[in-house]
Chains A and B, each alone.
Chain A
Amino acid sequence: MKILVTVKEVAEVEDEFEISGGDIAEQYLEYDLNEWDDYAVEEAVQISEAEDDVEVVTATIGPERAEETIRMALAKGADRAVRVWDDDIESAGKLDVETKAELLAGVVEEEDPDLVLTGVQAGDESNGATGVTLAEKIGFEWAAVVNQLDLDIEGGVANVHRELEGGVEELTEVESPAVLTIQSGINEPRYASLRGIRQAQSKPLDVKSLDDVGLSADDLESSLAQTDMYEPESEGDATVWSGDAEETAGQLAEFLRDKGVVEG
């Protein structure tokens, strides 16, 4: 059995930042493995540890810089990695959901996995749509926002819980092959061990071009254009207590006593 996990390297923004050229200036960004994908990798690795003959392959769309993040997924137990990138993708700028799904579909075609795990969303763009779009493209069944997974490999069914709003979970049987988008909290992602990090250096990490995944530069064209980025105007009018911690704590304590929620 083969599990493909899509892994994105996301940009995290510092508290104070500036926007230039329609995006957050590079010096305020730090790159890391997308939080939700970390849970997806862990879920796949746990399945590979519990079952015989399970191969875990990660797929990433990203520049060379992303290899550090990909190695981290390998260090946590994935067997090998595929990274899709070339000059045409580099010059295409931000890719829309449909394009990302198209590129990943090219990887699926080559890898022929039995199960695809993705994160529910990426922490930077937060589209929350790539996994389901991919499922529709490759003709897999799917389930979005999965926070419990019990795989019945022989029966060809994934028994999942989907995390709905308001503390309710939907119990669903999903026929294989399937794409499942994994919600945070489904498991406890491990830290990479030193041994894992060493081993990751020698695990295969293949780079694929557009041509390798059966696409051309024309396929990168998007009908969505980001025209502006700005900091939302603060709607806040909070009374901010000033002073050192003792003074501000004193003001808050007085407020709580006045409100009558705390006695003493």
Chain B
Amino acid sequence: MSDVLAIAEHRRGELRDVSLEMVTAGRDLADQTGGDLHLAVISGDVDDYATQVNREGVDAIHTVEYGEEFNHDVYTQAIEQLYADLDPQYLLAPNSVNGMDYAPAVAEGLSLPLVTDAVDLEEDGGLTVTREQYGGKVETTIDVEEDHAAVTIRPAEWAQAEGDGDADIEAFDADIDESEIQSTVTGFEEVAGGDVDISEADFLISIGRGIDEEENITLIEALVEATDATLSSSRPIVDNGWLPANRQVGQSGKVVTPDVYIAIGISGAVQHVAGMKGADTIVAINTDPNAPIWDLADYGIEDDLFEVVPALIEEFGGDVPDV
């Protein structure tokens, strides 16, 4: 009853990093409850995945062989049956796109309170979850006033567990009702192809919401030309159709690791940060002193981009377009 059950994640034959992050978060939580850490690996090559998640601190691994890829109707049934069998206190799932597709259904099915996108967990006779709101402008603490709960944890927030583990790996015989499977995955598509690969660039100039209007992009293009940089962007620019999908940096776009990354008018939401925090040097140009981008920036200019960018273009002898 004091145990923690965490659900591993994989896609197209590969274990995803968040699985090992959940081992860290789950071990830490289980230490606080005084219980064991159980992992579940569902679908695909479960034995291979089980071996990979068998890190220090894992007490038991349960495998459910059924199908190849993630299917929420399979996951929901398997997790509910595992939960009934193991009777853990807390259920952990990743706050990934697939986690968002099954965790709320499992919580509802098991009548568990659900807290999503946790960035910290504290257990002291009751669970307290820290999570962000208002696009990361504030953090809140949520007390769970029940003995049990389901929590999804934010990817890349905990370190990946290291060290070999010696957990028992056991096959769990889940009774999957096929008539309950009403979604079928028919394939995958890579969307971010095209003329340029921003993940290969050494110098990226990236724009966000602060650019305001599509016409203003010509200003940044002039800077890109004058400095021989590569143009990238945050999600809203691509959502608006102002730049193609292959320019998008972030969780659903590309992960980039340039020498220099200049973030112009980008607030630095967590989904964007996931794609650029590996840059060697980060420069922010932003009017908002509270924008989360300042947590990451090495250098910055706290000023209006429409003042700074033209001056910068002139510094490098480029032509400043009228916008």
- Using a CB–CB cutoff of 8 Å, the interface residues on chain A facing chain B are 11-13, 15-17, 19, 24, 96-98, 101, 120, 123-133, 135-137, 141-145, 161-175, 181, 184-185, 188, 222-232, 234-236, 238-241, 244-246, 248-250, 252-253, 255-256, 259, 261-264
Contact = CB atoms under 8 A, between A and B. Distances in A.
Interface stretch (B43-51, B58-66, B103-111): B103-111
Contacts of A236: 294-297
Contacts of B145: 223-225
Contact of A136 (B109, B135, B284): B109
B313 to A, nearest CB: 9
Given A184-B235, A223-B146, A235-B295, A230 B316 contact: no
Interface of B: 11-12, 70, 72-73, 95-98, 100-105, 107-109, 113-117, 128, 132-146, 182-192, 202-203, 227-229, 235-236, 238-241, 245, 248, 251-255, 259-260, 281, 283-284, 287-291, 294-304, 307-312, 314-317
Nearest to B155: A165
A238 B117 contact: no
B288 to A, nearest CB: 4
A175 B103 CA distance: 20
Contacts, number: 259
B138 A231 contact: yes
Given A142-B105, A145-B97, A226-B142, A98 B114 contact: yes
Contacts of A256: 227, 260
Contacts of B203: 261-262
Contact of B189 (A133, A161, A244): A161
A229 B140 contact: yes
Contacts of B260: 256, 259, 261
Contacts of A126: 116-117, 132-133, 135
Contacts of A120: 100
Q: Which of B142, B203, B303, B314 has the most chain A CB atoms closer than 10 A to its own CB?
A: B303
A252 B299 contact: yes
Contacts of B288: 15
B167 to A, nearest CB: 27
A182 to B, nearest CB: 12
Given A137-B108, A224-B142, A165 B252 contact: yes
A11 B52 CA distance: 43
A133 B312 contact: no
16 contacts: A15-B290, A126-B117, A127-B116, A132-B108, A133-B104, A168-B188, A172-B183, A181-B100, A223-B146, A224-B115, A224-B143, A227-B143, A232-B139, A240-B301, A249-B312, A261-B260
Given A13-B137, A129-B114, A136-B105, A262 B239 contact: no
A120 B116 CA distance: 13
Given A97-B114, A165-B251, A262-B316, A128 B100 contact: yes
Contacts of A129: 100, 103-104, 107, 114, 116
Nearest to B318: A264
Given A133-B114, A170-B188, A238 B108 contact: no
Contacts of B188: 164, 168-171
Contacts of A144: 72, 97, 100-101
Contacts of B255: 166
A225 to B, nearest CB: 5
B96 A165 contact: yes
Contacts of B297: 236, 238
A167 B245 contact: yes
Given A145-B97, A171-B186, A262-B228, 11 more contacts: A101-B108, A129-B104, A132-B100, A136-B108, A167-B192, A171-B185, A184-B235, A225-B142, A236-B296, A238-B294, A261-B202
B142 A230 contact: no
Contacts of B228: 262-263
Contacts of B72: 142, 144
B139 A229 contact: yes
Given A135-B105, A227-B143, A173 B186 contact: yes
Contacts of B238: 185
